Structure 1
Amino acid sequence: MKLTEDIKPVTCMKTRAAELLREVKRSRRPVVITQHGDAQAVVLDVATYEALRDASLLLQLTSQGEADVQAGRTTPQSEVFASARRRLKREK
């Protein structure tokens, strides 16, 4: 993070929103918006936001899977594949 470029006061967002959005999209770096010197929001380009959201969802799924394994909520692979084969045969 470059402090001179990546932290902006809310007045910058009010007066130069289009320019701010162009820069965020070009650089793909988040910009912290401050109000009265305190950080209040972060502006991200859509691609970065989606990547962060996807990574967060993947971590949640991994955590849920690990909890299931520890709690013994598992099914052997052979049973899962056999069930899938039966379903596929019924759908034909």
Structure 2
Amino acid sequence: MHLSQDIKPISYLKAKTANVINDVNENQRTIIITQNGEAKAVVQDIKSYENMQNSLNLLKLIVQSENDIENGRIIEQQDMFDTLEQKLFG
């Protein structure tokens, strides 16, 4: 992150919205928008946002899996495949 380039006041966003959107999409860099000197919003290209959301979803699955293991909510691999075959092929 290049703080001098990646942090902008809201007045900059208001005056140069199209430029900000173009820069974010071309450079795939997140811009932090400040208001009264405090960070208030983030402008991010859609691809980076989707990648971040996918990463978060994977992390949630990992946490759920770890919780299942800790609480003994597991089944043997062969049992899972047997059950799956029964459901698919009768």
TM-score > 0.5, shorter chain as reference: yes
Provide the rounded CA distance (Å) in 1 between the counterparts of 2:44 and 2:3: 16
Give the TM-score normalised by structure 1. 0.93
* Aligned pairs, number: 90
1:58 maps to what in 2?
A: 58
Give the TM-score normalised by structure 2. 0.95
1:41 aligns with 2:5: no
Runs of 4+ more than 4 Å apart: none
1:73 maps to what in 2?
A: 73
Provide the rounded CA distance (Å) in 2 between the counterparts of 1:38 and 1:85: 56
Q: Secondary structure at the match of 1:74?
A: coil
Unmatched tracts of structure 2, length 5 or more? none
Provide the rounded CA distance (Å) in 2 between the counterparts of 1:89 and 1:60: 31
Output the aligned Cα RMSD.
0.8
- Displacement, 1:4? 2.0
Q: Percent identity?
A: 36
